[in-house]
Structure formats: structure tokens, C-alpha cells
Amino acid sequence: MVAPARAPLRTDRLRAVNEPSQVTVEIDGAGVPVAVRRLDGSAIGKVESINETWRIDDEWWRQTISRLYYEVMLEGGKRVVLFQDLIAGNWCMQQP
């Protein structure tokens, strides 16, 4: 790896990367995602397969995180991570 020299990096200039963006998810009778849309209603894609599912319940000592994750393959082959915030109830999408 080439280690570039640079000015000091202040932590107040750290920016989040891969922040989840809110989406609308259609689910089937079992509560499994079948299609993903943006909040404005435009389609992102239908879910072709679900690769993995997991749940995170964490950080109860500050702001509780409770999420149900799906790593899915959309039509066309794009791999994304969807999760449902089990406290607020909304769905979000981000990169794996």
C-alpha cells in the first residue's frame, strides 16, 4: 500500500460512509422482502434471492438498536443489504 503523506486528519472531519438510506419494501405473507422501492415510489428492483438473514439487538445501554437484516440479490444481480428497524418499523438499504 502506498502510504500518502498528508496534513493531520481531525476526527471532527470524519464522514460516515455507507449510511443506510430509507426505502419502501414490499413483503410477502411471511414478512420476507420481495421488492424494493425508493421513497418517491420509483422501483429499485425485485428481490431475486435472499442470501442471508440475521438480527442485531445491541447497544441497549444507550440507544437500543434492534434490526432484522436481509442480504439480498436483486434482479440484475445487484447485492444489497436491507434491514427493518424493529423499533421504528421502517426499512433501510445499504451496501453489504
Which chain residues interact with another protein by CB under 8 A?
1-11, 13-20, 54, 56, 58, 65, 81, 94-96
Name the residue nearer to another protein (CB basis): 13 or 42. 13
Closest CB to another protein among residues 21, 49: 21
Reduced 3-state DSSP string for 19-81: CCEEEEEEECCCCCEEEEECCCCCEEEEEEEEEEEEEEEECCCCCCEEEEEEEEEECCCCEEE
Grid cell 413483503 is found at: 27
CB of 63 to another protein, least distance (A): 12
43/87 with CB nearer another protein: 87
